């Protein structure tokens, strides 16, 4: 049953979040209204400030409050290595590992001709200009291992070849702690093809 009024509107609006269905949205709405109105106000204020102040870094296209994000403006980052990711969330995840010290380029999606997403929508003209200037020596393709992600990685790999930049693809395969009987055949295929000496 569709509820009207502000409570119904709040529940409906919370459903716009990924992974939040009507039941979860309902629990969130009632929790905020019944138990933590101050947190609800703080959340609303923070969302308003974030939508007004956060834009895209002019160099890597991740989310930031500044013209250049903290990573692009950090002098200690390796400017010869560039990691290509699909979303700003991917930058956060990779940064949490602490293994990559280079810079990023955020595509904000992946090639999908059926959805009208081509190279222009992903900012590949901007990426090609960065490759052409000669500072980037290594390109790490960290797109998702979907059909579109693989096609995007291949397309960008060809751009790298054109500009004589070494390109590599992150490994895909069996996750740490994973058991083979629960792994799908596509993942196992990647794991076997990407095996290395021990």
CATH number for position 106:
3.40.1360.10
pLDDT at residue 197 in the model? 66
User: What is the CATH number for 22?
Assistant: 1.10.8.420
In this prediction, residue 193 has a pLDDT band, given cuts at 50, 70 and 90, of confident
Q: Which of 81, 160, 91, 152 is nearest to 127 (CA)?
A: 160
Dist CA 117 CA 109 (whole Å): 8
> Which residue range(s) make up the domain with 11?
5-53
**Structural domain contains residue 38:** yes
pLDDT at residue 1 above 60? no
C-alpha pair distances (Å), 85 with each of 17, 51, 132, 150? 21, 22, 19, 12
User: Same domain for 11 and 87?
Assistant: no
Q: Is the same domain home to 44 and 111?
A: no
In the predicted model, is pLDDT for residue 198 greater than 70? no
Q: Which of 162, 138, 129 is nearest to 58 (CA)?
A: 129
6: which 2 tokens? 């502000």
Domain count, the chain: 2
C-alpha distances in Å from residue 57, one per residue of 73, 83, 120, 176: 10, 15, 17, 33
pLDDT exceeds cutoff 80 at 28: yes
How deeply is 81 buried, as exposed, middle or buried, from its count of CB atoms within 10 A (0-12, 13-18, 19+)? middle
Tell me the percentage of the chain whose pLDDT exceeds 70.
96
- Give the mean pLDDT of 22-40: 93
Alpha-carbon distance of 185 to 164, in angstroms, equals: 34
Name the residue with tokens 């693989």: 150
pTM, rounded to two decimals: 0.84
131 in any annotated domain: yes
């Amino acid at each position: 049953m569709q509820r009207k009024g502000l409570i119904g509107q709040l529940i409906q609006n919370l459903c716009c979040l990924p992974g939040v269905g009507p039941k979860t949205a309902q629990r969130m709405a009632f929790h905020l209204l019944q138990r933590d109105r101050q947190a609800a106000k703080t959340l609303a204020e923070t969302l308003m400030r974030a939508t007004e102040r956060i834009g895209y870094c002019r160099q890597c296209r991740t989310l930031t409050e500044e013209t250049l994000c903290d990573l692009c403006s950090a002098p200690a980052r390796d400017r010869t290595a560039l990691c290509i990711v699909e979303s700003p969330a991917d930058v956060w995840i990779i940064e949490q590992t602490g293994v990559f010290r280079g810079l990023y380029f955020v595509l904000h999606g992946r090639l999908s001709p059926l959805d009208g997403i081509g190279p222009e929508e992903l900012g590949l003209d901007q990426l090609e200009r960065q490759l052409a200037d000669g500072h980037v020596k290594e390109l790490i393709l960290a797109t998702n291992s979907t059909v579109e992600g693989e096609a995007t990685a291949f397309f960008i790999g060809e751009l790298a070849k054109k500009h004589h930049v070494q390109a590599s693809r992150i490994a895909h395969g069996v996750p740490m702690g994973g058991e083979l009987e629960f792994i799908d055949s596509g993942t196992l295929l990647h794991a076997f093809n990407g095996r290395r000496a021990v």
